[in-house]
Amino acid sequence: MNEQETLVWVKDLLPGEPQVSSRQVGESFPSFEVAEIFLVDDATPDRPETVAMTLNASQIEPALETEDGSDLRVELLTITTGHSSTAAELVTAAATMIAENPGARSPQPGTFLPQLGPSVDSSITAKHGLLVVPFVWEEGVPHAHEVTSGGKRSAQTATSDIEFTHPGRLTVPAQLIMLTDAEYDLALREGLGAVQTAMAEQAVNLNDLWRVPAEL
């Protein structure tokens, strides 16, 4: 999908009409298009949130495939407390880190992005990024599956006929959450399950990037 097609898809996923901006972490780095929505829940008007999702991080080639052989591409999503540009800046910084070395930092659940927060805002206490399976859609993880109309010519075919052998491209979102030093250290020592259990027991608000670090 190109950026406009991705925007149409993303609009169906986000809870409102997004604002779109082009962002870079610096002049020598790639530019990413980001859709943002500033939310206020009528039930909790004192707890606004910002949702941000990339529109062209899927142009990064991570060499991932689905079980049926489709190219797997990823857009990045995050949610932060308050209304600010922090969410958009975080997914931009995350996409930039991944683009620098998608082999070492694959855009899939379980990938850590250490010290991502301070590169955006030095006051962030949840400093370390982690990609997880999105948990914001009750229906499960959404996806867009493209199958080329022209097919893929078989290397063994010498004729002008086209053999439709390529299963296409699947684009899915990955959610970026941020961990404090203690949460990150626990994840490295005991695994993600231990972190999830500890955070659930303490009712940690994952979207609060400036939360007071707790002992784990």
Helices (H), 61-169: 86-100
Q: Can you tell me the mean pLDDT for 9-17? A: 93
Q: Is 172 left (phi over 0), alpha (psi -120 to 50) or beta?
A: beta
Over 50: is that where the pLDDT of 19 sits?
yes
Over 60: is that where the pLDDT of 163 sits?
no
pLDDT at 216: 65
pLDDT at 68: 82
Domain boundaries, the chain: 3-179
Q: Is 110 left (phi over 0), alpha (psi -120 to 50) or beta?
A: left
pLDDT at 42: 80
- pLDDT tens digit string along 108-161? 999 999 999 999 999 999 999 999 999 999 888 999 988 765 444 333 444 444
Of the two residues 178 and 164, the one the predictor is more confident about is 178
Burial tier of 47 (Cβ tally within 10 Å: 0-12, 13-18, 19+): middle
Whole-model pTM: value is 0.88
As given in the structure block, the two tokens for residue 139 are: 């229906």
- pLDDT tens digit string along 55-95? 999 999 998 988 888 889 999 999 999 999 999 999 999 99
